[in-house]
Amino acid sequence: MGTYYRVTMVLDPALQKDVDHTDTQLQTEIDKKLELVNDQMSTYRPDSELSRFNKAQASLTVSPETAYVVQASLTLFEQSQGAFDVTVGPLVNLWGFGPDKKPTKVPSTEVIQSRQKFVGSQYLSIRGNTLYKTIPELYVDLSSIAKGYGVDVVAEYLQEIGINNYLVDIGGELRAKGKKPGNKQWTLAIERPSAGQNVQRLIQVGDNSIATSGDYRNYYEYDGIRYSHTIDPKTGKPINHKLVSVTVIHESSMMADALATAITVLGPEDGFVFAEKNNLAVFLIVKQGDEFVEHVSAEFKPYLIEEK
């Protein structure tokens, strides 16, 4: 996944003595599970299920896990009216944010339009565990949802082996359950989207997941113009609105991850309307001049720690 993972857990005295719950044994099992996710859904591994589907002309039967993540992607594509689209990879690569290198010049309108012909989840479907595409060039990239899915895989494994107090973190996608030692809640921070590691707000998410999407880390500048890594499938270009950070709390890390991306593409107004319509716990940071303005959905407010 091109990033780190960190698992913090609290073991009761009985589990601390169990040979199956040593740090070494737990890390071995977690590594195996994350390796499997990569073997299924990585675009960087040429023999992964997803890479083999991308090379296929029309269809490929995949694991139930890959089918599950693709189905969730298609559902959100419909719900977001195309804002969340896992086939946007050719455009991401064109703008220099995928496996390809940074472009030496801004793509022309003609080049963008030629790539857009091969983008659109309406060309992707699933029946059982078989993925189908109606155009051979269709390229699926699950990087905006699979990392969150990986968090869920690790969290659910911990619960299976009796660990019910944990914090799983894969590249900033987090899922928490239970309490820290001393019966204290896990306290997390929303980063302020400016220079330095400043805290915008502190939150306690309970037994939930949290994901943040923003353009303040992954971007480049060309001829004095800043280009975000988030591509709007409808325009074929990087987003250029003033929504700089989206934080979503959801019981599923996979959905928190994907929803944060969808709302980022939708922008500050449409994104907030989408969040409220779907009763989502969402925290937006919008740049207005030199200031950062917060927009908080009603569902998100209970998780905020009020400053004293």
Pairing relation of β-strands 124-127 and 166-170?
unpaired
Strand stretches in the chain, DSSP E:
5-9, 59-61, 124-127, 130-133, 166-170, 173-177, 188-191, 199-203, 209-214, 219-222, 225-228, 231-232, 237-238, 243-250, 281-288, 291-296
The residue ranking higher by pLDDT, 122 or 242, is: 122
Mean per-residue pLDDT for 121-142?
96
pLDDT of residue 16: 81
Average pLDDT, integer, range 187-201: 80
165 CB-side CA count, 13 A:
13
The overall average pLDDT reported for the chain is: 90
Q: Does residue 215 surpass a pLDDT of 90?
A: no
Q: What is the DSSP letter of 5?
A: E
Count of CA atoms in the C-beta half-sphere (13 A) of 109? 0
What average pLDDT score do residues 220-230 get? 60
What's the pLDDT tens digit per position in 13-70? 888 888 778 888 999 999 999 999 999 999 889 999 999 999 999 999 999 999 999 9
pLDDT in tens, 261-273: 999 999 999 999 9
The domains found in the chain, sorted by start residue, are 1-43+142-179 (no CATH), 49-133 (1.10.3980.10), 187-303 (3.10.520.10)
**SS3 track for 39-51:** HHHCCCCCCCHHH
Question: Does residue 226 have a pLDDT over 60?
Answer: no
What is the mean predicted confidence (pLDDT) over 114-127?
A: 95
What is residue 223's predicted lDDT score, i.e. its pLDDT?
54
pLDDT of 103 above 70: no
Give the end-to-end CA distance of the chain in Å, rounded to a whole number. Answer: 39
Q: What is the CA radius of gyration of the chain?
A: 20
Structure confidence at residue 92 (pLDDT): 83
Q: Can you give the pLDDT at residue 99?
A: 61
- Residue located via tokens 């949290």: 210
Q: Which residue has the higher pLDDT, 237 or 270?
A: 270
Q: Which pLDDT band, with edges at 50, 70 and 90, does 218 fall under?
A: low
Mean pLDDT to the nearest integer, 204-211:
96
Of 190 and 275, the one with more pLDDT: 275
* 41 Cα distance to chain centroid: 13
User: For position 261, what pLDDT does the model report?
Assistant: 94
Q: Is the pLDDT of residue 220 over 70?
A: no
Amino acid 56: pLDDT: 97
Burial 38-51 (b: 16+ CB within 10 A, else e): bbbbbbeeeebbbb
Provide, rounded to the nearest whole percent, the portion of the chain with pLDDT above 70: 92
